[in-house]
């Protein structure tokens, strides 16, 4: 996750693909997994931005939230299409690497991923409200605060040229959350939220890879199943394939 603070969103995908390769997971599977996580995150955040309608906001903000929610709904629907997404990923990877996707995307795993993302965004909304409450936000404004934070994240994820959506997320929060607590206070919430996120991500990295420790795959050890899929053996001889969802 620390790689996302470099300009462009490609570095996170590159690092994840390399870590997957070290653990025996094919590069194209890791890249597809990263793409699916990004799509699910943007889609669910966009839908939840509809919560902005629960508070005071100008007409253009409401229209933006409605448009984002509509786009998120269409994106989620496309993820569940039985052939559309898999066919698209298969064509992309055949063009880039000469090999396609090994199997269909697990719809059950995809559903779990969407629910998990919705829970994560809800917790992010509560965290933002906890930061805004001492600055004037009320309990009744929790939904509006959640809508503001999810819209800011959706915009930050879509603008891939900005490292971790820096600047875009803060601007959206100032414009939306500023409607209830003031622009200066909203900027304070945005900056503290960003600082806490960086601290947590750096802490997680330190716990995962202490100094001098490199992730190595033990000889003969099979790849570990991930939360978004399960392993099946391919029909043709070769390593185990990971089905992403």
Question: 141: which residues sit within 8 A by CB, 6+ positions away?
Answer: 54, 55, 129, 132, 180
What does the block give as tokens for 123?
A: 């917790």
Question: Structure pTM?
Answer: 0.71
Question: pLDDT class for 36, splitting at 50, 70, 90?
Answer: confident
Burial 41-52 (b: 16+ CB within 10 A, else e): bbbbbbbbbbbb
Q: Which of 72-86, 133-147, 163-177, 218-232 has the highest mean pLDDT?
A: 133-147
pLDDT, tens digit, 9 for 90 and up, residues 77-136: 888 876 777 777 777 777 766 666 666 677 888 899 999 999 999 999 999 999 999 998
- Alpha carbon 28 to chain centroid, angstroms: 19
The phi and psi torsions of 242 (rounded to 5 degrees) equal -100, 125
Please state, rounded to an integer, the average pLDDT across all residues of the chain. 75
17 or 48: which leads in pLDDT: 48
């Amino acid at each position: 996750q620390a790689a996302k603070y470099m300009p462009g969103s490609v570095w996170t995908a590159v690092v994840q693909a390399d870590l997957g390769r070290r653990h025996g997971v094919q590069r194209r599977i890791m890249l597809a997994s990263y793409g699916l996580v990004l799509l699910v995150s943007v889609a669910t955040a966009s839908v939840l931005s509809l919560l902005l309608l629960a508070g005071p906001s100008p007409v253009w903000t409401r229209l933006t939230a409605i448009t984002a929610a509509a786009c998120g709904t269409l994106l989620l629907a496309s993820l569940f299409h039985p052939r559309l997404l898999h066919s698209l990923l298969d064509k992309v990877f055949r063009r880039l690497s000469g090999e396609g996707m090994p199997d269909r995307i697990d719809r059950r795993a995809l559903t779990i991923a969407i629910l998990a993302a919705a829970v994560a965004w809800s917790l992010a909304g509560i965290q933002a409200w906890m930061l805004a409450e001492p600055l004037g936000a009320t309990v009744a404004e929790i939904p509006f605060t959640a809508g503001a934070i999810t819209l800011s994240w959706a915009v930050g994820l879509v603008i891939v040229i900005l490292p971790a959506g820096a600047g875009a997320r803060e601007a959206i929060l100032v414009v939306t959350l500023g409607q209830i607590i003031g622009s200066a206070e909203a900027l304070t919430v945005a900056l503290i939220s960003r600082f806490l996120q960086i601290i947590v991500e750096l802490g997680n990295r330190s716990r995962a890879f202490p100094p001098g420790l490199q992730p190595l795959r033990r000889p003969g050890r099979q790849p570990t199943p991930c939360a978004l899929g399960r392993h099946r053996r391919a029909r043709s001889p070769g390593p185990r394939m990971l089905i992403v969802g």
